[in-house]
Amino acid sequence: METPSDRRYTPAHEWVQIVSDDPEGTRVRIGISDFAQDSLGDIVFVDLPEVDRSVEAGETIAEVESTKSVGEVYAPMTGKVAAANAELEDTPELVNEDPYGRGWIAELVVADMAGFDGLLDAEAYAGTLD
């Protein structure tokens, strides 16, 4: 199972990647891990967050539905939704095919990045899967 080292992970099997600096903070991209997509099975619908919505850390910002179940995606940090991956509206299977790339779910602008350092690095996250 793949675990790229250019990003951090949450215990809820999400990844967070720093994209760029933003006037209001730091722009991060989030998605679900290879383990998460594999556990869910074929993904058939992604409920994306609305852009500009403010979200608290831990709040549900998206739902990823497979043929059999519904997985919730939680905001890993407090921030504002800057983008949602509209490509998933018609091709939700991208989350299965490319969970760390084209299957990204949303981008947040985060003012306080303190929470980022508390996330798991690739090695620590991979360790939780053993």
Please give the residue ranges that form the binding site for other proteins (CB under 8 A). 41-42, 44-45, 47, 65, 67-68, 70, 89, 92-93, 96
CB of 102 to other proteins, least distance (A): 18
CB of 30 to other proteins, least distance (A): 21
Residue 27: both structure tokens together: 């722009």
Taking the C-alpha atoms of residue 38 and residue 40, their distance in angstroms, rounded to an integer, is 6
| Nearer to other proteins among residue 45 and residue 129 (C-beta) | 45
Taking the C-alpha atoms of residue 73 and residue 26, their distance in angstroms, rounded to an integer, is 20
Q: Which residues contact 74 (CB under 8 A, 6 or more apart)?
A: 10, 12, 14, 57, 58, 59, 60, 61
| Nearer to other proteins among residue 61 and residue 110 (C-beta) | 61
| Nearer to other proteins among residue 79 and residue 92 (C-beta) | 92
| φ, ψ (nearest 5 deg) of residue 82 | -100, -25
CB of 109 to other proteins, least distance (A): 26
